[in-house]
Structure 1
Amino acid sequence: MTKTYFISDLHFSHELMLKIYPKTRNFKSVKEMNEYLISLWNDTIKPDDIVYNLGDFAFANDDETERILKRLNGKHHLIFGNHDKRLKSPKFDAYFASRQEYLYLKNKPNLVLFHYPIFEWDGFFRSNIHLHGHMHDKALLLPRAFNVAYDFNARFLELDEIKSLAKNS
């Protein structure tokens, strides 16, 4: 059965993350961090699963980014973050099912996906859910707004889990 997952702010190859977020990135090197994140991805995401990555995927050069992307399972959708400019290049077309700045997913309830937190999103008053990243280890503290950043959750969040959290928020 295909599952749908959400994550953001993986920051592959971004050495500064090791210093800023030692709680979730307690690694001796960027290489160790990258290998761990690839393992986490592939242990969670099966080949038929869907991943919505809400940005800041990699802080690597194009060749290293391609090497990482080639190793990842699933159907990968990217919502661009502030560190994803190079991923807009056509050379990365084959690695993504879609790439966009913002995505409104019709679901029950609907989902508003954006790298940045929004204080009032489309459908805010109609129980729509907002998923974001960018804040790394901080929460927005609004009902039905969830930070899916790696440094906040240390894992991928699955769609059914998010729906359950939204019912209780």
Structure 2
Amino acid sequence: MGFVTKWYMADPHFGHEAALHWETTPRHFQSTEEMDKAIVDRVNERVGETDLLFILGDFAVSSDPEYVAHVFNELRGRKVLILGNHDLDSKGRVKAAIAGLPWDVPPVHAMETKDGGKRLYLSHYAHRVWPAGHHGAFHFYGHSHGAIPNVGRSRDVGIDCADMDFGPRRFDELTAGMLEIEDREKHLISNEIAVAMEDKAIERWALAQLCKMPEGDLDRLFESDIRSVDVRELRAVLAVLQGVKA
């Protein structure tokens, strides 16, 4: 198979009456049928028949298996489900109406994939840390309905987040602003490090010793393209410098 476009969204909550009246993120539709149709339409406007649609949990809350199957079949694309709390029964098992659908792969609680050459960790819940996060991997999640701030290379892809507009988005759309913010922070920290080294008359080799890291690793931080640098490494170097008396 050739190139496949991947799409991401979380928390459609098909058939969920209560979702229309949530206090923090109400969905301004007149009925669940109107809400469900709007979500299906937005998916089908963007997703091709052979594209992959990753749904990061809480696919459907309706207790009618025929209706759940109907909505599933209305959605274009090869569908992959990352399980959310509403996809499970009271004993933690995948609901029969969900398990019986022809997913592209069996539903799982979390998954790693790649998009645009970047590693990506998918789960219904937000993580403070995630696989390969310290090597630049990204993390998409749902569940929180936009209520918690995005951190680093992680973000909420719930359809009721402001920039999701009740439909799926591609990796490049979801990460563009994230990388720009991260790059600005890296530039600011790099400038602070340079100023502190000059003020405290610390040579690079001495800073490497203070940071207990090979000088070559420190050189990489200062000389690599800013986008390839881990912002946490820069923060750690700055913290060491801030602890040195002038």
Aligned to 2:170: 158
Cα distance change of structure 1 residues 159 and 57 upon mapping to structure 2, 3 Å threshold: same
Query: Which runs of 5 or more residues in structure 1 are unaligned?
Result: none
Question: Is 2:74 aligned against 1:71?
Answer: yes
Q: Looking at secondary structure, tell me which structure has more helix per residue.
A: 2
Question: What's 2:109 paired with?
Answer: 101
Bigger shift: residues 11-20 or 146-155: 146-155
Find the aligned partners of 1:141 and 1:122 in 2 and give their Cα distance: 17
Deviation string, structure 1 residues 50-98 (Cα, Å, up to 9, x no partner): 1110000101121110111111100100000000126554874552102
Q: Contact conserved, 1:4 with 1:158, CA < 8 A, in 2?
A: yes
Q: C-alpha root-mean-square deviation of aligned residues, in Å?
A: 2.2
| Distance across 2 between alignment mates of 1:38 and 1:143 | 30
Q: Could you say which structure has the greater relative contact order, defined with CA pairs below 8 angstroms and 6 or more residues apart?
A: 1
**Percent identical across equivalent pairs?**
25
SS of match in other structure, 1:120: coil
Q: Deviations over 1:144-166 (max 9, x none)?
A: 00100011122312022234344
Q: Describe how 1:121-136 pairs up with structure 2 within 5 A.
A: 121-136=130-145
Structure 1 residues 162 and 121: alpha-carbon distance in aligned structure 2, compared to 1, 3 A threshold:
same
Q: Which residue of structure 1 lines up, in the alignment, with residue 57 of structure 2?
A: 55
Structure 1 counterpart SS, 2:151: coil
SS at match of 2:57: coil
Q: 1:44 aligns with which of 46, 52, 55?
A: 46
Report the counterpart of residue 120 of structure 2 in structure 1: 111
2:112 partner SS: strand
One-letter code aligned to 1:83 = H
1:22-62 superposed Cα distances (whole Å, 9 cap, x missing partner): 86621111111111111111112111211110000101121
Q: Compared with structure 1, are the counterparts of its residues 52 and 21 closer, same or farther at alpha carbon in structure 2 (3 Å cutoff)?
A: farther
Q: How many aligned positions are there?
A: 169
Moved >4 Å (runs of 4+): 21-24, 90-94
TM value normalised by structure 2: 0.63
Larger-Rg structure? 2
Query: Could you say which structure has the higher strand fraction?
Result: 1
Q: Which residue of 1 aligns with 2:223?
A: none
Which amino acid in the other structure matches residue 80 of structure 2? H
Residue 2 of structure 1 deviates from its aligned partner by 3.6
Deviation at 1:140, TM superposition (A): 3.4
Question: What's the secondary structure of 1:83's corresponding residue?
Answer: helix
Asked whether the 8 Å contact 1:51–1:75 carries over to 2, the reply is: yes
Residues in 2 aligned to 1:23 and 1:104: alpha-carbon distance in whole angstroms = 29
Aligned match of 2:85 = 82
1:26 equivalent in structure 2: 28
Q: Distance in 2 between matches of 1:51 and 1:128?
A: 20
